[in-house]
Amino acid sequence: MRKLRSEEGCPWDKEQTHESLKPYLIEETYEVLETIDSGDKEALREELGDFVLQAVFHAQIAAEAGDFTMEDVLNTINDKLIRRHPHVFGDVQIETAEEQKIHWETLKHKKEGKISVIEGVPKNAPALLRAHRVQQKAATVGFDWNDITPVWDKVHEELGELKTEIELDDAQKIEEEFGDLLFAIVNLSRFIKVNPEDALRKAINKFSSRFQQVEQRLKDDGKDIRKSTLDEMDIIWNQIKEQENHK
């Protein structure tokens, strides 16, 4: 990367800044996630390389500006890992993963001088991910239910409130109540130990795969999906589901 950014390097690489690289960092992150979902280990090795390259790229830009180096980046994360794992590198007793999550958030709060327990979740993060992390952080100080029963009750409560606002046809209230319902669903995901962002991404992938198969089958039959009825599409959709269930 130092060579690529040098005078005899690549014109494109030399022009890049922290700001200009932001879209690529996001893109490479999602490509890693997609590869993990696919289970392709060889592709994962390649995508992780692309992902790491983004960190190297940013570190080189910073080094040229005299801000910090890649070595500084690695030393910083090493120090942080040691500091936040005193049960491994020190004499603190932590027995469970749940205890460690609480301990980790407590150390972050003290070290970084945050005013609120729920600070530190990127505001630009995907909404489901952000909701999940905010709820996790709030739970570390006991702001959480002890079992899943009231979580289910809250989901049903929010669903009822949404139905009421839909009947009243208040667009602003409908949006608000729909958001509350999604937030309650995310809370349910925590209690059943499901990552909502991962679950929705996989659901989208499943839907996309099935829908594209519907398109292809109609095309194979000489039909245009735009002129096909919902009943025709539903029959093929259910056939695809049945085939998947028997694999």
Q: Report the pLDDT value the prediction gives residue 219, as an integer from 0 to 100.
A: 95
Q: Report the pLDDT value the prediction gives residue 141, as an integer from 0 to 100.
A: 86
185/217 same-domain check: no
Give the chain as a DSSP string.
Answer: -TTTTSTTS-HHHHH--HHHHHHHHHHHHHHHHHHHHHT-HHHHHHHHHHHHHHHHHHHHHHHHTTS--HHHHHHHHHHHHHHT-HHHHSS----SHHHHHHHHHHHHHHHHT-SSTTTTS-TTS-HHHHHHHHHHHHHTTT-S-SSSHHHHHHHHHHHHHHHHHHHHT-HHHHHHHHHHHHHHHHHHHHHTT--HHHHHHHHHHHHHHHHHHHHHHHHHTT--GGGS-HHHHHHHHHHHHHHHHT-
Q: Is residue 92 part of a domain?
A: no
186/222 same-domain check: no
How many whole angstroms separate alpha carbon 32 and alpha carbon 45? Answer: 9
178/205 same-domain check: no
Q: Is residue 97 part of a domain?
A: no
In terms of residue numbers, what domain contains 205?
A: 198-245
Last residue of a domain, one of 30, 49, 83: 83
Residue with tokens 């602003």: 172
Q: Report the pLDDT value the prediction gives residue 161, as an integer from 0 to 100.
A: 97
Task: Mark the ranges of the chain whose per-residue pLDDT is less than 50.
Answer: none
34/69 same-domain check: yes
Q: Is residue 105 part of a domain?
A: no
Q: Report the pLDDT value the prediction gives residue 112, as an integer from 0 to 100.
A: 64
Q: Is residue 140 part of a domain?
A: no
19/73 same-domain check: yes
Q: Report the pLDDT value the prediction gives residue 115, as an integer from 0 to 100.
A: 76
186/208 same-domain check: no
Q: Report the pLDDT value the prediction gives residue 96, as an integer from 0 to 100.
A: 84
CATH, residue 158: 1.10.287.1080
Q: Report the pLDDT value the prediction gives residue 87, as an integer from 0 to 100.
A: 86
Q: Is residue 134 part of a domain?
A: no
Q: Report the pLDDT value the prediction gives residue 169, as an integer from 0 to 100.
A: 96
215/240 same-domain check: yes
206/171 same-domain check: no
162/219 same-domain check: no
Q: Report the pLDDT value the prediction gives residue 148, as an integer from 0 to 100.
A: 97
Last residue of a domain, one of 31, 55, 83: 83
Q: Is residue 104 part of a domain?
A: no
Q: Is residue 91 part of a domain?
A: no
Q: Is residue 99 part of a domain?
A: no
223, burial (CB in 10 Å: exposed 0-12, middle 13-18, buried 19+): middle
41/66 same-domain check: yes
pLDDT digits (tens, 9 = 90+) for 219-246: 999 999 999 999 999 999 999 999 998 8
How many whole angstroms separate alpha carbon 215 and alpha carbon 204? Answer: 16
Last residue of a domain, one of 62, 83, 104: 83
Structural domain total, the chain: 3
If DSSP states are collapsed to H, E and C, what string results for 61-85? HHHHCCCCCHHHHHHHHHHHHHHCC
